[in-house]
Amino acid sequence: MAVSKTLIAGVFLLSAAAAGAQPIDADPNWRPQPEPMPQQPYYAEGGGPSWNSGLQGYAGLRGSLALNNNTVTTYAPTSPPTAIRASYATGGGGSVYLGTRLPLNLRVELEGLYRWQPLSMTTVGGVPVGGSGNTKTAAGMVNLLWDIPMPADAYLQPFVGMGVGAAYSETSAFGGGNTYLSGNRWDLAYSFMGGVAMPLSDTTRVTAMYGWMQVRDAKHKCAATGTVQSACLKNNVNSLAVDLGLEMDL
């Protein structure tokens, strides 16, 4: 009988301890909840400094320093032909463009550009003849660029690209009553470029770029004194430029 009383007293004590450990307002249906899975860190597409603040479009303006590598060699329509070489000095220009960002660090741009360079020298048969002239190029280009992946805390974003479009070239070299060289027409053009972008804010940046452009199969006319200009050459005209630009998100 004493054993039974001891067992009953133990049960009551255990029940009281359990009741004291459970909050009065505890939910009888409460179950422990699993811990949430840790979220993976976010990596912005493109890597490095992507400053478009979630916007895809951007616009920019570039100023160009056209270098003295735009040279045309042609021949006067005489018999035997006389070699005429026109070299152009450092000039300037600029461009405006609209762009959008694509997957895989790619960007596409529509660009309108203009370049002007004065004549530095004209030679006929290797002999300088003086004279004056210039070359002007206006082109509409479609550029495809790739932002090179960089660490997330990188301050500069390098890029490379290429473009294709149509260029209107107007070239002239004349003096002493002679029109040594002239040409004005539309031709195919393509270009390659590389540069870096540096942020000014979350939505604006400055760019520096080096570019090479070639106008394909540009036709020129030439004439010696007292003769009528006629087509004398179809050749490629190269142009080099260093561009500085300001770019902002739309």
Q: Which domains does the chain have, with CATH numbers?
A: 57-147+157-225 (2.40.160)
Rounded Cα distance, 26 and 28, in Å: 6
pLDDT digits (tens, 9 = 90+) for 29-39: 666 666 665 55
Please check whether residue 194 is in contact with residue 159, taking contact to mean a CB–CB distance below 8 angstroms: yes
Per-residue pLDDT of the chain (250 residues; tens, 9 = 90+): 554 555 555 545 555 555 555 554 556 666 666 666 555 444 444 444 444 444 589 999 999 998 875 555 544 445 445 666 777 788 999 999 999 999 999 999 999 999 998 887 777 767 777 778 888 899 999 999 999 999 888 889 999 999 999 999 888 877 777 777 777 788 899 999 999 999 999 899 999 999 999 888 766 666 555 555 555 666 677 788 999 999 999 8
pLDDT tens for 71-88 read 555 444 454 456 667 777
Question: How far apart (Å, rounded) are the C-alpha atoms in residues 241 and 135?
Answer: 14
Task: Name the residue with tokens 């080099």.
Answer: 240
**How is residue 232 annotated by DSSP?**
E
What does each C-alpha distance from 103 to 50, 107, 146, 182 come to in angstroms? 13, 8, 10, 45
CA-CA-CA-CA dihedral for 214, 167, 169, 66, to nearest 10: -50
**Token pair belonging to 153:** 């805390």
Q: Is the pTM of this model over 0.75?
A: no
